[in-house]
Amino acid sequence: MVSIEEVTVDVETIEGAIDFAAIFGYERPVEMEIGCGKGTFLLRQARGHPERNYFGIEWANEFFRYSADRMARWGVTNVRMARTDARHLMIHRVPVGSLSALHVYHPDPWPKKRHHKRRLFTPEFVEAAIRALRSGARWAIQTDHAEYFEVIRGLTAGRQELEPVAFDDAEYGAEGERTETNFEVKYVREGRPIHRLAFRRR
Ligand SMILES: C[S@@+](CC[C@H](N)C(=O)[O-])C[C@H]1O[C@@H](n2cnc3c(N)ncnc32)[C@H](O)[C@@H]1O
């Protein structure tokens, strides 16, 4: 049994750059999921890959508590979760080359023009995420929102640090075996198209 306190990390109490080895207590490849919602993807991946560490970021308190409680009940020891703004954390606190994978599934699209500034994907965020990925790391992005997808594509296209790769990957779950997120399940059931991108950091 793992306590919820062991799963959660208050990043406000840490000064400067995030030290993942100190947070987890041991050095292993770190995969980050931004906006993990109810934590289905994070939990399955963490259980399937005890040799990797998983750092989940969720802004909404309700989902953060729900996910952290889930991790604790399943007793996973390779997950830590922070309740914070992932864009700010990525730009200011995540060390260069510290991530072996970055998962962003169904980021809030903020469809109204006056809300676009709240979106996760900005030029600064993409710059910081590229910096944070170590060589060979994977960045997978998925959304149901066509216009936001074009924005994300525009921000990542032509970046020579990012080599486009297949979304389905044996290491991260091949087609049909890949862990679906809660939103993915819902939208696929509704017949909505899902847009996907994956990169390997050169
Ligand atoms: C549409 S939901 C998708 C949840 C999950 N990834 C899925 O696919 O089922 C987006 C989630 O991202 C969280 N979120 C949005 N902006 C965020 C930010 N800047 N930092 C951390 N979490 C954020 C929201 O609270 C929400 O839980």
Over residues 75-104, the mean pLDDT reads 98
d(CA 80, CA 105): 18
pLDDT over 80 at 172, yes or no: no
pLDDT over 80 at 193, yes or no: yes
Give me the domain span that covers residue 25.
4-201
22 C-beta neighbours (distance < 10 Å), count: 10
Under DSSP, is residue 1 helix (H, G, I), strand (E, B) or coil?
coil
d(CA 18, CA 11): 8
In 3D space, the residue among 83, 142, 80 whose CA is nearest the CA of residue 109 turns out to be 142
Using CA positions, which residue lies closest to atom 19 of ligand 1?
85
Instruction: Assess whether 108 carries a catalytic annotation.
Output: yes
Read off the pLDDT band of 168 (50, 70, 90).
confident
Catalytic residue among 10, 19, 69, 108: 108
Q: What is the pLDDT of residue 73?
A: 97
**CATH number of the domain enclosing 35:** 3.40.50.150
Using CA positions, which residue lies closest to atom 25 of ligand 1?
60
Q: What is the pLDDT of residue 174?
A: 54
pTM of the model as a whole: 0.97
Q: What is the pLDDT of residue 52?
A: 96
Within 6 A (CB) of ligand 1 lie: 34-37, 57-60, 63, 85-87, 105-106, 108, 120, 181-184
Rounded to the nearest whole angstrom, what is the distance from the C-alpha of residue 71 to the centroid of ligand 1?
A: 17
The structural domain count of the chain equals 1
d(CA 67, CA 88): 21
Rounded to the nearest whole angstrom, what is the distance from the C-alpha of residue 143 to the centroid of ligand 1?
A: 11
pLDDT over 80 at 156, yes or no: yes
Under DSSP, is residue 114 helix (H, G, I), strand (E, B) or coil?
helix
Q: What is the pLDDT of residue 45?
A: 92
Q: What is the pLDDT of residue 173?
A: 62
- Cβ atoms 28, 22 nearer than 8 A: no
Spatial neighbors of 200 by CB under 8 A, at least 6 apart, are 136, 137, 138, 139, 162, 163, 165
* Closest approach atom of ligand 1 to CA 40: 9
194 C-beta neighbours (distance < 10 Å), count: 16
Q: What is the pLDDT of residue 180?
A: 85
For residue range 46-77, what is the model confidence (pLDDT) as tens digits?
999 999 999 999 999 999 999 999 999 999 99
- For CA atoms 88, 91, 96, 100, the dihedral sign is positive
Under DSSP, is residue 141 helix (H, G, I), strand (E, B) or coil?
strand
* Closest approach atom of ligand 1 to CA 57: 21
In 3D space, the residue among 35, 79, 38 whose CA is nearest the CA of residue 58 turns out to be 35
Ligand 1 pocket check: which of 9, 32, 57, 58 to mutate, most ligand atoms within 8 Å of Cβ? 58
Q: What is the pLDDT of residue 26?
A: 92
Q: What is the pLDDT of residue 142?
A: 96
Rounded to the nearest whole angstrom, what is the distance from the C-alpha of residue 183 to the centroid of ligand 1?
A: 10
Q: What is the pLDDT of residue 130?
A: 98
Spatial neighbors of 14 by CB under 8 A, at least 6 apart, are none
pLDDT over 90 at 13, yes or no: yes
Over residues 25-33, the mean pLDDT reads 96
